[in-house]
Copies of this chain bind each other. A is one copy, B any other.
Amino acid sequence: MGTARARRGDTRQRIQDVALDLFAQQGYDKTSLREIAEHLDVTKAALYYHFKTKEDIVISLFEDLARPCDELIAWAADRPRTLETKTEVLRRYSEALRDAAPLFRFMQENQATVRDLSIGESFKARMLTMVGLLKEPDAELTDQARCVTALVSLHSGMFAMQNVEGDPEEKRRAILEVALELVTAAHGPGAPQK
């Protein structure tokens, strides 16, 4: 009863929670609105009261959860491209990924699907911007590869290391360390350190 009352008005939120869970677990295509509705003990039609389409649910998830990333990018945009900035960007980005892990797992594992959802484009753009923040403007191919690898490793590393034993947080820090190394190496001695 208390629960039922507490649930009043937060249905939208609950839809998002369940949807993200299922999308991350089973994939977008394999998760039907019927399934989401059943998990929430409401009808499919109820979902349409809160979201215009299935895609809209994803969009809302993305908007809510990827905001920290956008804020990070905005924060970095004004700062000089020093190694210190880059380091800080990586550090914060790693934390943002951790905090929205299910969303990124979903995006990671459903790239083909995400690609022609409307968020696909903006996700790609964000990635490009991130690379832009990390690499020197005239970096050689290998250094670009280093930066891209750093980013890729933050995105995929956690899932790729699922079979490695160890505390998740420690694993995250290990991956971050590697990413920092790569970006530091790419930064080069000629670039401004501070």
Residues of A bordering B, CB below 8 Å: 26-30, 106, 108-113, 115-116, 124, 127-128, 141-142, 144-146, 148-149, 151-153, 155-157, 160-161, 163-164, 166, 170-171, 174-175, 177-179, 181-182, 185
Contacts and interface: CB of A to CB of B under 8 A. Distances in A.
A109 B146 CA distance: 22
A144 B161 CA distance: 9
Nearest to A145: B174
A182 to B, nearest CB: 7
A87 B164 CA distance: 22
Contacts of A185: 181
6 contacts: A109-B111, A110-B112, A142-B174, A142-B178, A145-B161, A148-B157
Contacts of A179: 149
10 A-B pairs closest in CB distance: A27-B112, A109-B111, A29-B29, A109-B112, A145-B174, A149-B153, A141-B174, A142-B174, A152-B156, A145-B178
Nearest to A146: B178
A141 B30 contact: no
Nearest to A164: B144
A112 B31 CA distance: 11
Contacts of A156: 152, 155-156
A19 to B, nearest CB: 14
A113 B152 contact: no
Nearest to A141: B174
B174 A178 contact: no
Contacts of A161: 144-145, 148
